[in-house]
Amino acid sequence: MPQKNTTLGEFIIENQSEFKYSSGELSRLINSIRLAAKVVNHEVNKAGLVDILGAAGDTNIQGEDQQKLDVFANEAFIKTLTNREIVCGIASEEEDDYITIVGRNKKNDNKYVVLIDPLDGSSNIDVNVSVGTIFSIYRRVTEPGTPVTLDDFLQPGRNQVAAGYIIYGTSTMIVYTTGHGVNGFTLNPAIGTYYLSHPNMKFPETGKIYSVNEGNYVHFPQGIKNYIKYCQEEEDDRPYTSRYIGSLVSDFHRNMIKGGIYIYPNTAKDPNGKLRLLYECNPMAFLAEQAGGKASDGITAIMDIQPTTLHQRTPFLCGSIRMVEKAEEFVKEFG
Ligand code: AHM
Ligand code: MG
């Protein structure tokens, strides 16, 4: 059991042997994400000063152009990963197509691709609510040394070698898995070091929180409508509490600690739901399963879905195992 005061740097070195493909490459990659997260954290924390420093699109008093935070975060992660020649390709929510990374010597032998949502929940920034970064890492399937192809990115979530998120909240945390449980590290901003604060995180088997945008209720499929009614009934340990931040990372993080279910279903308007399979749902599903929870589209486990496009969407039910199973029963029965 790792010590609580272990730093993330120490933890990565100590646990390197657990990586499926033992090489320093994945450690260096996680290190780069840790670094980019600090840069983004610094910028996110300044966001409240926007009225003083100038809004996105303006030029600030130092003559610097102000960027939207999601654009800033996207560039910070891409630059860090590209400059360090640590991956062979990146796909991002902010980019239409994947990015091929060609090394300085025109040859890139790196084996990993990263898929990332650089700043999820960014509509919450203006109102000082927590946002996050979500990342997912795969071994490429094509030959190292050749340019990456779409096939390297369109892998089912089961193939992930690591995944995680950074939450820019009341404190900043990195929570990640390499397939050996889930560990959470909290940033001490005074010295810029992440410490292991949440070793071996686990979803409680069941919980009392359901998180869904109930404003869309009329558009939900019947199974989800009935499950929500079930959550609200006065019976056994119900009614449950409704908590919805509208920031996936924050809703997931709270539910993992307290026990709960997050739901973003398909609707009449959005037949595949809203959330993206590759860089939102798959990494969360990997974390959920590693933490004893469950993630599905109502029928199929999220990580078993074979992706066909980079930005494809999927309905998403995720959280404490008993709650997800119950919601699935409703989907099966009522559609
Ligand atoms: P984004 O990638 O545009 O930020 O959208 C993803 C976010 C999730 O973080 C959040 O759970 C969901 O969208 C909220 O959507 P809604 O406002 O429709 O409830
Ligand atoms: Mg997003």
Residue 272 belongs to a domain: yes
Q: What is the structure's pLDDT at 194?
A: 95
* Predicted confidence band of residue 218 (pLDDT cuts 50, 70, 90): very high
Instruction: Tell me, yes or no, whether 146 and 40 share the same domain.
Output: yes
Q: What is the structure's pLDDT at 1?
A: 65
Instruction: Tell me, yes or no, whether 257 and 218 share the same domain.
Output: yes
Q: What is the structure's pLDDT at 85?
A: 81
Task: Quote the domain boundaries for residue 258.
Answer: 209-332
Give the type of residue at 241: T
3-state secondary structure of 229: helix
Instruction: Tell me, yes or no, whether 121 and 262 share the same domain.
Output: no
The CATH number of the domain holding residue 321 is 3.40.190.80
Q: Please give the distance, rounded to the nearest whole angstrom, from the Cα atom of residue 59 to the centre of ligand 2.
A: 27
* C-alpha pair distances (Å), 39 with each of 54, 111, 117, 166, 173: 19, 25, 16, 12, 13
- The ipTM assigned to this model is 0.96
Residue 53 belongs to a domain: yes
Q: Whose CA is nearest to atom 15 of ligand 1?
A: 246
Neighbours of ion ligand 2 (CB under 5 A): 117, 120
Residue 281 belongs to a domain: yes
Q: Are 150 and 98 in contact (CB under 8 A)?
A: yes
3-state secondary structure of 111: coil
Instruction: Tell me, yes or no, whether 32 and 91 share the same domain.
Output: yes
Cβ of 289 below 6 Å from ligand 1: no
The closest of 327, 295, 305, 133 to 221, measured between CA atoms, is 327
Residue 66 belongs to a domain: yes
Examine the pLDDT at 64 and tell me if it is beyond 60. no
Q: What is the structure's pLDDT at 48?
A: 65
| pLDDT per residue as tens digits for the range 259-310 | 999 999 999 889 999 999 999 999 999 999 999 999 999 999 999 999 999 9
Structure tokens that stand for 66 in this block: 């102000």
Cβ of 248 below 6 Å from ligand 1: yes
93 is in an annotated binding site: yes
27 is in an annotated binding site: no
Q: Whose CA is nearest to atom 12 of ligand 1?
A: 246
Backbone angles phi, psi at 170, to 5 degrees: -60, -30
Instruction: Tell me, yes or no, whether 193 and 309 share the same domain.
Output: no
The residue to mutate among 264, 278, 318, having the most atoms of ligand 1 within 8 angstroms of its beta carbon, is 264
pTM of the model: 0.94
Q: How, if at all, do strands 89-92 and 112-120 pair?
A: parallel
The closest of 272, 244, 273, 247 to 260, measured between CA atoms, is 244
| pLDDT per residue as tens digits for the range 80-131 | 999 888 899 999 999 999 999 987 667 778 899 999 999 999 888 878 889 9
Residue 2 belongs to a domain: no
d(CA 182, CA 195): 14
Q: What total number of domains does the chain contain?
A: 2
Backbone angles phi, psi at 126, to 5 degrees: -60, -20
Q: Whose CA is nearest to atom 11 of ligand 1?
A: 248
Task: Report which bound ligand comes closest to the CA of 117.
Answer: 2
